[in-house]
Amino acid sequence: MKQIALYGKGGIGKSTTSANLSAALSLAGHDILQIGCDPKRDSTRMLMQGRLIPTVMDQVRERGASGVTPADVVYTGFNGVRCVEAGGPEPGVGCAGRGIIATFQLLEKFGTLTGDVIVYDVLGDVVCGGFAMPMREGYAQEVYLVTSGELMSLYAANNICKAIERLSARPKSRCRLAGVICNAKNQPKEEELVAEFARRVNSHLVQFIPRDRVVQLAELNRKTVIEYEPDSKQAQIYRDLATHIMENTRFTIPTPLEIDDLEALAIEYM
């Protein structure tokens, strides 16, 4: 079983990338489980034709952990992709990372952490104990950084590199950096910048995803690009990403940049 996690700054397009990746992998014949690890609970929405499924935390609050069944939290979406949303606490109360911990505990109890590929879609602005759990506890063995060429997006990606570097030192850790995905914002030299960032943190650029209006059109129609416009260039790019991830064997311990070096790198490509 391949367990991968997509980490990145909020709003960078992790959920869009994750959903299209899961859809592409499913059409390639793989059994896929996607777990949204963000209180916004929108990771699996386009796989569910626009439906926001009940979250694990919602179900635990309503029924108690002992009253929740697999059918309450695992839903089947596009082409058989199984979908789970961790959710989080009520706004202003509690730790958002707690939803991830509760989700993994329940899914392990149910025996539903299975399949050919598990895709974890994780918020990467703050790599606290809860959000780092997929890496720390050995669930996410391959971590992909989703970033654009914008400085704050690279800053978040660099912070995640620091977390991977630290966690990789644990005796039983299997967490490694598997590569960088550039979800473009149409900046000049963006692909070159992100590729160089990937090289400097001891990794590689796995896929460049250009900005394309078909992504917004697909989401307005409550579908992934893979489902909405399967013959489009953008759908092929997501299929290429799926192929590259399945064939990838380069997993490294990253070498994070100092903030001055990161800023200097960004200036080089302005």
Q: Which of 9, 58, 72, 212 is catalytic?
A: 9
Please answer whether residues 146 and 111 qualify as being in contact, where contact means their C-beta atoms are separated by less than 8 angstroms: no
Burial readout 111-145 (b: 16 or more C-beta within 10 A, e: otherwise):
ebbebebbbbbbbbbebeebbbbbbbbebbbbbbb
Residue 125 annotated in active site: yes
Residue 40 annotated in active site: yes
Q: Which of 2, 31, 40, 162 is catalytic?
A: 40
Burial readout 205-227 (b: 16 or more C-beta within 10 A, e: otherwise):
bbbbbeebeebeebbeeebbbbb
Residue 9 annotated in active site: yes
- CA 49 – CA 57 distance, rounded (Å): 22
Q: Which of 14, 72, 212, 223 is catalytic?
A: 14
Residue 223 annotated in active site: no
Q: Which of 116, 125, 162, 185 is catalytic?
A: 125
Please answer whether residues 14 and 129 qualify as being in contact, where contact means their C-beta atoms are separated by less than 8 angstroms: no
Identify residue 229 by its one-letter amino acid code. E
Residues 6+ apart with CB under 8 A from 218: 46, 224, 225, 227, 228, 229
Catalytic residues: 9, 14, 40, 125
